Structure 1
Amino acid sequence: MGFLSIFKSTFLLWVLILSSCGNKMTSHKNTNDSITAQVPEPVLATVVVAANSTAEYLPLLKNKKVAIVANQTSVIFKKQGYTHLVDSLLALQIDVKKVFAPEHGFRGEADAGEVVKDGLDTKTGLPLISLYGKNKKPSDEQLQGLDVVLFDIQDVGVRFYTYIATLQLVMEACAKNNIPVIILDRPNPNASYVDGPTMEAKHTSFLGMTTIPLVYGMTIGEYAQMLNGENWLEGKKKADITVIPLKNYTHNTEYHLPIRPSPNLPNDKSINLYPSLGLFEGTNVNAGRGTEFQFQRYGASFINPSAYDFTYVPKPNFGSKYPKEEGKTCYGKDLSNSPQLQRVTLAWLIDAYKNTTDKSKFFLTDSFTKHSGTEKLQQQIEAGLSEEAIKKTWQADLDAFRKIRIKYLMYD
């Protein structure tokens, strides 16, 4: 495509964006929800997400049969709100054939772990193919007739957050079928550090498909390059990938996510605490699901009430139809005003375990092993090791990973 054609396509896109009201996320009343359809000016003035760099990827989609892996975060930003990537590409007459939907679905409304069904998008009429239902990897039949797959999903940089697993399986399927993958990069709000236990190969699952630390400090585009470069795809195949980069971004850039990346990460605080409080997902302790402060508190009915002065009662709500400890008074801690973290902390997990009245109720052993990536962490906590002692056992693996990671970093 010549320069004039690129200019016309890009100009048309921005005319459409500025003239439309956008495809705004469904509003859910939440007094603690800082994520809105209004994009903060500091974000617009600095970081440019790859989806906004239309001139770099429109020529790669022209006259191609396209599938898009997307959810509610797959948007092009403008000064007032945003327009969904799928809507914009259709308006530009890009031949979008289908949408692949990850965990939580295309519009981001399904519970964690809830099966996402195939169907039709009510707005566009496009076929929706679930990657969190009967199959988590696109089948050969589902990829048949496609020329290119476009991947654009906001990640939060935590290994058990399943979108990087979806990325890996999409890359594997496309490598097998010789279909190129274009990845539109987005900031990782937990990209400034590397920490946590490293996944052991024998425990890999959809909650962690590669031997990386709990927090890996990479954007989703950088991680895609690592999957290829380290031969981590099935059969050691390499996918034909093109990563459209971010602009004005470093790993230390503070970035507010204007759209909640999943139902139970409603704001910046929850995203910052998620690496640490997410480990409670492998226990019977409630981590705020069923409240408006998801991943900003923890508690359980079986924790000693004399140890805490904070209580709450989880109830079914948006994003959690059946929360742990539903309808029970939970004793625990409110962390919604805690300081910003630049590390994984085990302090709250250890504290909750120590104050559990019946320790046989605490761990969901198989789930905890899948979340932590190792059997050792549960054993260490049960043995009474301190946080400092436990974290020392992570260091050799973290140092080894940092040496691998540095080869694939695209940003300072």
Structure 2
Amino acid sequence: MSATIGNVSVETGLDVLVRRRGSLLRGRRFGLVAHQASVDSRHEHAATLLADLPRARLVRLFAPEHGLWGAAQDHAPIAGTRDPVTGLPVVSLYGERRAPTLSMLRGLDALVVDLQDVGSRYYTFVWTMALAMPVCARAGVPVIVLDRPNPLGGTVEGNVPDPAFASFVGLYPLPTRHGMTIGELAAYLNAEHRLGCDLTVIAMRGWRRSMLWEDTGVPWVAPSPNMPTPDTARVYPGGCLYEGTNLSEGRGTTRPFEWVGAPYLDAHAFADDLNRRRLPGVHFRPARFVPTFHKWAGRLCGGVQIHVTHAASFKPFITGLAVVASARRLGRRAFRWRRPPYEFEHRKLPFDILCGTDTVRRAIERGEPLATLERRWQPARARWLARRARWLAYR
């Protein structure tokens, strides 16, 4: 059941549970929070696999942002439906309601969570899990998290957010690139933020913090429509910042988050300005593209393609900030910060809730060097790293 590359063998939590014939679920009626990337090493979906477990009964499915099968675009409300494969009801956890109600959990003996995260604080699946956990605690329903690899490995980058800027792209303070698996995050959030959940994490076998996705051998299935490859996940901690501006982040193209631009930018001037910064592990190639939907749909955008030349040294968050700072300087009056609403926040600027503070935006507006920002983050990040250390399950 494990996925193998060379002498590397990684079993996800789902693989481990299925190999054990679901012994942890025996005699239980349970629900499953899943999406289209909830597959085992043979590409079989968790809903199908767990519905077939002996002496256990899957009775309800729950879907995060983008839906059970990843068909909905970003920020699109998800309606409740019925899964055509298992015939089970699918309860939406993205829209007006982002947490299950007590009545939705009635009759369940456990809630299983199998969600592929991408290692960035903004990605909403972790927060869907975090909102469900205290409700499960009140309902007396244990939570079982099936662990999966962090595609970005164990490296940590970015600032620790100000709790005043908490939102659905950061309910609790985590650095932008947090370097934790979803199982580790569940344990950390449950303990450090006192969610009160009866939690079990089914750990992976064979995963190490030094691994990038390509090292694991685990099949990549897009966890959201605009996360088609591991390359997308690699740039996403910076690429998602473009959502807080009037730059196209490449939605409506074949390279979301790798292409960024706008009609008001000159592609070559943009690339030259960014390459002069000599950011580690990255090269900016002049690019022109026409998004088929989303920002600047049907308009020719001048921009860049972000080529990661050395994954180990690449710093996606600082790279994203550099892209925004350069676009603002070159775009002059045409550049704009996106206005709310954004991810259910109706007052604060989207860029500010993505950063978890307004100090980053204000520093960009002042033309402050990014290295100064990085130095300012270090003390809070060091404290956070010390807090999370006991919840790391892998070397």
TM-score w.r.t. length of structure 1: 0.84
Distance 1:204 1:44, change over 3 A: farther
What code does the residue aligned with 2:82 have?
L
Letter in structure 2 aligned against 1:239 = C
State whether residues 122 and 354 of structure 2, in contact with CA within 8 Å, keep that contact through their aligned partners in structure 1. yes
Paired position in structure 2 for 1:7: none
Q: Specify which of 335, 338, 355 is matched with residue 306 of structure 2.
A: 335
Counterpart residue type for residue 364 of structure 2: I
* Cα distance in 2 for residues equivalent to 1:183 and 1:40: 19
Aligned partner of 2:30 among 66, 70, 78: 66
2:368 corresponds to:
385
Question: How far apart in 1 are the matches of 2:225 and 2:298?
Answer: 20
- Identity across matched positions, percent: 32
Letter of the 2:224 partner, please give it. Answer: S
Number of residue pairs matched by the alignment: 362
How far off its partner does 1:56 sit?
A: 4.9
* CA-to-aligned-CA distance 1:92-122 (integer Å, 9 cap, x gap): 3431111000001000111011111101011
Indicate yes or no: 2:202 matched with 1:244: yes
Shift of 1:60: 1.8
Residue 191 of structure 1 contacts residue 216 of structure 1 at CA under 8 Å; is this kept in 2? Answer: no
In the alignment, the residues of structure 2 paired with residue 219 and residue 125 of structure 1 have an alpha-carbon distance, to the nearest angstrom, of 31
- Tell me if structure 1 keeps the 8 A contact 2:61–2:91: yes
Partner of 1:151: 113
Superposed, which structure 2 residues align to 1:98-109 within 5 Å? Answer: 98-109=60-71
In structure 2, the residue matched to 1:49 is 12
Structure 1 counterpart of 2:330, one-letter code: N
Give 2:327's aligned residue. 352
Q: Structure 1 residues 159, 165: closer, same or farther in 2, change over 3 A?
A: same
C-alpha RMSD of matched pairs (Å):
1.9
Partner residue, 1:24: none
Residue 131 of structure 2 corresponds to: 169
| Contact 2:3 2:10 survives alignment (8 Å) | no
SS at match of 2:22: helix
Q: Does residue 45 of structure 2 align to residue 84 of structure 1?
A: yes
Change (3 A) 1:57 1:173: farther
Q: CA deviation at 1:191?
A: 2.9
Tell me the residue number matched to 2:393. Answer: 410
Q: Superposition pairs for residues 358-373 of structure 1, below 5 Å? A: 358=333, 361-364=336-339, 366-373=349-356
- Is 1:229 aligned to residue 191 of structure 2? yes
Deviates more, 1:251-260 or 1:82-91: 251-260
Structure 1 runs of 4+ aligned residues shifted over 4 Å read none
How far is the alpha carbon of 1:199 from its aligned partner?
1.4
Distance of aligned partners of 1:279 and 1:57 in 2 relative to their CA distance in 1, 3 Å threshold: farther
Structure 1: stretches of 5+ with no match in the other structure: 1-13, 15-38, 317-322
